Copies of this chain bind each other. A is one copy, B any other.
Amino acid sequence: MRFCPYAQRAHLVLNAKKVDYHTVFINLTEKPEWLVEVSPLLKVPALQVVAEKGQPSLIESLIIAEYLDEKYPQNPLLPKDALKRAQDKILLERFNGITNAFMKILLQNTGLDDFWTALDIFEQELIKRGTRFFGGDKPGFVDYMIWPWLERLPVIEYVLKDNYNFDEKRFPKVAQLITLLKEDEAVKGFYATPEQHQEFWRTRKAGNASYDLLA
């Protein structure tokens, strides 16, 4: 599904690793019958590993991303140190505060304060790490895993209009991160503009999601 933020995570890691892959975009409203064969819970993303015996499929965006990071050692994304790896994963658990608030805003037009409060944790963590990216001087695992929601801030603006109030003084590090990631090759390789995201949300909200908009 071209506009699924979880599916985007898999694309970002594949791009960051410069791994060749083939994409099948699906219509998430009218799911193809074969989906159950690669994704038993009928969710996206699913990664079919065609080079392995039996062509097994993996699901769950974070599990897929970590698998790719282990399988393809070039441009390592997660830290080598076990403690730092665990801390990055805990940070991503806390990102659920943002993904939950995001859906609440889109579906119920409420929850913006919770969204910013959850984002505070990431602003503070960037300050604590003293680096431009969560990964240090280049994008790492956390950066790519959270990017899909940062790319979709314009959807919140579209939904809330004048009530949208991203504050660069409250989030200077996150604002800088967004600017930097927009120039990253892996991000640019799977990017949708604010207008495209807004148009997708408009059609989805109207009940005729434009799944083929960029596919």
Contact = CB atoms under 8 A, between A and B. Distances in A.
A41 B64 CA distance: 26
A58 B49 CA distance: 32
A90 interface: yes
Contacts of A58: 83, 86-87, 90
Contacts of A40: 94
Given A67-B82, A67-B85, A85-B70, A90 B52 contact: no
A93 interface: yes
Interface size, A (range): 20 to 34
A3 to B, nearest CB: 23
Contacts of A104: none
Given A49-B83, A52-B83, A83-B52, A89 B60 contact: yes
B87 A56 contact: yes
A127 interface: no
A157 interface: no
Contacts of A71: 82-83
A63 B92 CA distance: 11
Interface string A20-50: 0000000000000000000011000000010
30 contacts: A40-B94, A41-B94, A49-B83, A52-B83, A56-B83, A56-B87, A58-B83, A58-B86, A58-B87, A58-B90, A59-B90, A59-B93, A60-B89, A60-B90, A60-B93, A63-B86, A63-B89, A63-B90, A63-B93, A64-B86, A66-B86, A66-B89, A67-B82, A67-B83, A67-B85, A67-B86, A70-B82, A70-B85, A71-B82, A71-B83
Interface of A: 40-41, 49, 52, 56, 58-60, 63-64, 66-67, 70-71, 82-83, 85-87, 89-90, 93-94
Given A59-B90, A66-B89, A67-B86, 4 more contacts: A40-B94, A41-B94, A58-B83, A67-B85
